[in-house]
């Protein structure tokens, strides 16, 4: 009972501190998230499956939903229909509440046309039929922007909203003159057109001018023979323009999952590619949206300490509990100094309170001769004190103090008997 009375308020105080601290603990990561990609034939969709495999290793399920492209992906993020999405750089940057986890790889602008066409630059495409991608796709956004810089619009060319697969088929059938697409070099459609001897890839010799006018674009080079060394495809270096593919999230995305996604991105995109050396990507540069704060720290110092050495879920649990330890330590350290002395004082006070009465009796016995009536009264007082002391319950560690008090009571009784008056 003494323990409960003494330590009960302290325990309640610690519980209240835990509850208060819990209000500041980040919610646990969800075990399932949704990513919006592109069409099933596109690179985004294929890469999403690689992310699914990486996240599955840590017990997180990634649901993949297809879309028409970056425009629809952005719309889904804004409307909370997806947790994250692949977005082509430059496809949108005005939507509040969206943040980039970094750029993942170069996603070049490819302009294919028949070799018989005497075309040297984009301005020469005026008057031709041009596939510029479906409505809502990143290809369409960039193609229209580049064409408009050359004053090529619907009234000066036939702009067709075809998917990359549809455009490639139309180009092979000579149903269109030009196929503009934004895709990675690993795209099946790109590989098919590069290896087709009927078509050529437009060399953008004025790429430097475009990078000045459109800041999110980079100038890159497709090296000679890099697609097929035996057949020497391409036959000469080709200068291209390229935005980057970005992984974009909403502002309320769980911070722990951000680290997990960046580790997956590092495993998937860190390798060398046709356009970049190993270690170039993922990167906090060339981003479509402001870089997320957690992602920025990741690029500077790497993953948090716990996630470097522990599996994901134990690391997350310990990290969340650290926040709880702060008020615990803030309370337990002073309570650890206060409560033991308070407990000792409470136990000893049950014993020491009887010393005052015993001392009063001893003073009476010691100070004067006593009568028979006084002897009887004092004897009763000693007996009452002794009875009360025998009822005191203390821990075994304090039992010696109870026995000392009983010995002192017996000592006073002996003094009293020594002064007992004759009958």
Write the pLDDT tens digit of every residue in 184-225. Answer: 888 889 999 999 999 999 999 999 999 999 988 999 999 999
**What is the mean predicted confidence (pLDDT) over 128-138?**
91
C-alpha span between 87 and 287 (Å, rounded): 10
Q: Give the 3-state secondary structure of residue 245.
A: strand
Q: What's the residue count for the chain?
A: 423
What does the angle CA 257 – CA 260 – CA 266 come to, to the nearest 5 degrees?
140
C-alpha span between 235 and 99 (Å, rounded): 40
Beta bridge partners of 64: 35
Q: Give the 3-state secondary structure of residue 204.
A: coil
**Which pLDDT tens digit goes with each residue over 351-387?**
666 677 777 777 777 766 777 777 777 778 778 877 7
Under 8 Å between Cβ of 211 and 89: no
Q: DSSP state, 414? A: H
Query: Which pLDDT value is given to residue 22?
Result: 59
Closest listed residue to residue 294, CA positions, set 334, 224, 247? 247
Instruction: Please give the residue that has the higher pLDDT: either 123 or 92.
Output: 123
Q: Give the 3-state secondary structure of residue 72.
A: helix
Q: At 158, is the pLDDT very low, low, confident or very high (cuts 50, 70, 90)? A: very high
Structure tokens at 16: 């209240």
Whether cis (ω within 30° of 0) applies to the bond prior to 234 is yes
**Which pLDDT tens digit goes with each residue over 214-241?**
988 999 999 999 999 999 999 999 999 9
Under 8 Å between Cβ of 350 and 14: no
What does the angle CA 72 – CA 73 – CA 78 come to, to the nearest 5 degrees?
95
Domains of the chain and CATH, by start: 108-242 (3.40.190.10), 339-418 (1.20.58)
Q: At 408, is the pLDDT very low, low, confident or very high (cuts 50, 70, 90)? A: confident
C-alpha span between 304 and 326 (Å, rounded): 19
Query: Which pLDDT value is given to residue 404?
Result: 75
C-alpha span between 239 and 208 (Å, rounded): 10
């Amino acid at each position: 009972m003494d323990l409960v009375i003494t330590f009960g308020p302290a325990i309640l105080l610690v519980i209240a501190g835990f509850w208060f601290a819990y209000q500041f603990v980040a919610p646990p990561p969800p075990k399932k998230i949704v990513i919006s990609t592109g069409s099933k034939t596109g690179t985004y969709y294929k890469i999403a499956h690689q992310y699914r495999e990486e996240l599955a290793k840590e017990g997180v399920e990634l649901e993949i939903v297809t879309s028409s492209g970056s425009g629809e992906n952005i719309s889904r993020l804004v409307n909370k229909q997806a947790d994250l999405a692949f977005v082509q750089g430059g496809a949108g940057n005005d939507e509040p509440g969206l943040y980039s986890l970094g750029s993942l790889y170069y996603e070049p602008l490819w302009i294919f046309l028949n070799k018989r066409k005497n075309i040297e630059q984009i301005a020469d495409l005026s008057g031709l039929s041009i596939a510029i991608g479906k409505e809502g796709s990143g290809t369409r956004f960039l193609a229209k922007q580049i064409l408009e810089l050359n004053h090529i619009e619907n009234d000066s060319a036939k702009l067709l909203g075809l998917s990359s697969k549809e455009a490639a088929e139309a180009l092979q059938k000579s149903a269109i003159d030009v196929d503009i697409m934004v895709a990675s070099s690993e795209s099946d459609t790109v590989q098919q057109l590069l290896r087709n001897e009927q078509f050529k890839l437009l060399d953008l010799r004025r790429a430097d001018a475009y990078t000045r006018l459109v800041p999110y674009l980079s100038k890159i080079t497709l090296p000679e023979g890099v697609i097929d060394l035996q057949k020497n495809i391409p036959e000469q270096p080709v200068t291209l323009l390229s935005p980057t593919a970005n992984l974009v999230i909403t502002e309320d995305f769980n911070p722990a999952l951000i680290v997990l996604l960046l580790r997956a991105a590092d495993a998937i995109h860190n390798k060398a590619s046709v356009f970049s050396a190993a270690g170039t990507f993922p990167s906090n540069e060339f981003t479509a949206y402001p870089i997320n704060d957690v992602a920025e720290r990741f690029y500077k110092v790497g993953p948090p300490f716990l996630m470097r050495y522990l599996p994901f879920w134990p690391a997350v649990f310990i990290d969340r509990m650290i926040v709880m330890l702060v008020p615990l330590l803030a309370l337990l350290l002073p309570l650890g100094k206060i409560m033991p002395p308070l407990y000792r004082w409470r136990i000893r006070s049950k014993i020491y309170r009887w010393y005052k009465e015993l001392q009063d009796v001893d003073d009476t016995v010691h100070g004067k001769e006593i009568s028979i009536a006084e002897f009887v009264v004092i004897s009763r007082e000693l007996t009452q004190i002794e009875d009360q002391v025998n009822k005191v319950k203390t821990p075994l560690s304090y039992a010696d103090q109870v026995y000392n008090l009983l010995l002192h009571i017996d000592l006073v009784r002996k003094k009293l008997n020594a002064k007992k008056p004759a009958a």
